[in-house]
Structure 1
Amino acid sequence: MSLVELIAQADERGLAASGLACLDRCVPLLGGDDEVLRPLWASLAGADAWGDWEERVTKVRGELDVGDAWGEGGGPGSGSVEDEAALLARRMLAAVPGERSARAFREWADGCSVAALRIHRLLDPMDKDSAEGGSSVTARREGRTEGMSPLVAAELRRQVTVLELLAGHGANGVRQALDVSTEGRRVLRAVVSRRARGRV
């Protein structure tokens, strides 16, 4: 089943976990530590997954720098690759739904999926799809995976795995989804660090 199909079929908890996992893997671009999103993961794993969600979202946004996520400046092409990737990550954070709504979470999960794949494509020096713009990301999400770079391929696999875990295990899959996301965050942190060293 393609990533697009998995998102279309996911329930609220699965959609929230999917979006949160994408955001979690991109935390290195926001200057956050590895534990900053743990309160949101804890909300999803609890019996009442939504009782304190809005409060915890507000707290996380206060700890991370959302900046001018929706402003005119800092858009694609206006700065470095790292700046563009960080802007996409800030938009993921700014768009986290504050209250329970299947429609809102589906839109957020879908947007996070696209943004996370674009971030990995931007930061991967081996990527060959950049000239195709958003069309390559759409193709990957629909299941056309030929010729993907390793970094983008790994991100796509993680997105699929998280949705499959939540679909198969519900709240019991949250812990495993967090483990998958943690692995991806370490990979992206290493990529960001390597690129920074290359600019010195």
Structure 2
Amino acid sequence: MSLVELITRADARGLAGSGLACLDRCVPLLDGDDEVLRPLWAALAGDRVDAGGQDGEDARGGDGTDWARELTRVRERLAGPDADGEDEAVLLARRMLAAAPDTCSGARIRAWADACSVASLRIHRLLDPAAEAGGGLGRENAANGRTENRTEGLSPLVAAELRRQIIVLEVLAGHGPAGLRRAVEVSTEGRRVLRAVVSRRARGRGRPPGRM
């Protein structure tokens, strides 16, 4: 099943988890630490996330964690400087966080998950040296990868991100709340890879990682 099909069929928890996983992997661009999104993952572990993905209740964890409240806190922690001087990859990551809906239900969470998927693939393409060197490893191939479930013509970093997005959606669709642990593991792996890429790129440009 293609990535687009998985997003279309996902329930609310799958959509929220997919979008959050994309954002989690891109946290290094926002100078965030590895734990900054943990409260949002905890919110998704609650039983009150609607399985239908349409008109359910807000996401609240069993310990009372409120998605909307924690989202506000995350935005405050990751608030960056004025956008002037930041490159496209950083701006895309900021927009992913800014666009996150306050509730994990309805059409907004599906739109956010889809937008995060596109933005994260774009970010990985922008940061991949192989994509920079090869003109054929561009946006059209990434779009085809989302709809046709193939990695041919994609740079290594983009192909790996595509596979991670698919894995996250598959484990959440197949295992529900129990799949969140695997989704976090996949995102942690991807975040470490991107953090290394961001650090190398920043050193090459003589800038702090978040300014690129």
Same fold, judged at TM 0.5 (above): yes
- 1:43-64 per-position Cα deviation (integer Å, ceiling 9, x unaligned): 1112234131111111111111
Pick from 189, 192, 199: which aligns with 1:186? 192
- 1:170-200 per-position Cα deviation (integer Å, ceiling 9, x unaligned): 0000011000000000000000111122224
- Aligned pairs for 1:48-67 (under 5 A) are 48-49=48-49, 50-51=59-60, 52-65=66-79
- 1:81-114 per-position Cα deviation (integer Å, ceiling 9, x unaligned): x711000000000000002323111100000000
Q: Post-superposition shift, 1:65?
A: 1.4
Relative to 1, partners in 2 of residues 1:130 and 1:96: Cα closer, same or farther, differing over 3 Å? farther
Corresponding residue for residue 63 of structure 2: none
Aligned residues: 190
Q: Post-superposition shift, 1:118?
A: 0.3
Provide structure 2 residue ranges, at least 5 long, that are not aligned to the other structure: 50-58, 61-65, 207-212
Corresponding residue for residue 2 of structure 2: 2
Instruction: Give percent identity, aligned residues only.
Output: 67
Provide the rounded CA distance (Å) in 2 between the counterparts of 1:104 and 1:198. Answer: 38
> Superposition RMSD on alpha carbons, in Å?
1.9
Corresponding residue for residue 93 of structure 1: 97
- Aligned pairs for 1:139-178 (under 5 A) are 139-143=144-148, 144-178=150-184
Provide the rounded CA distance (Å) in 2 between the counterparts of 1:85 and 1:131. Answer: 19
Provide the rounded CA distance (Å) in 1 between the counterparts of 2:180 and 2:30. Answer: 23
Provide structure 1 residue ranges, at least 5 long, that are not aligned to the other structure: none
Over 3 Å off, 4+ runs? 128-134
Pick from 134, 142, 151: which aligns with 1:137? 142
Corresponding residue for residue 53 of structure 2: none
Structure 2 length as normaliser, TM-score? 0.83
Relative to 1, partners in 2 of residues 1:161 and 1:132: Cα closer, same or farther, differing over 3 Å? closer
- 1:20-61 per-position Cα deviation (integer Å, ceiling 9, x unaligned): 000000000001111000000001112234131111111111
Provide the rounded CA distance (Å) in 2 between the counterparts of 1:171 and 1:114. Answer: 24
Pick from 73, 97, 119: which aligns with 2:123? 119
Q: Secondary structure at the residue paired with 1:89?
A: helix
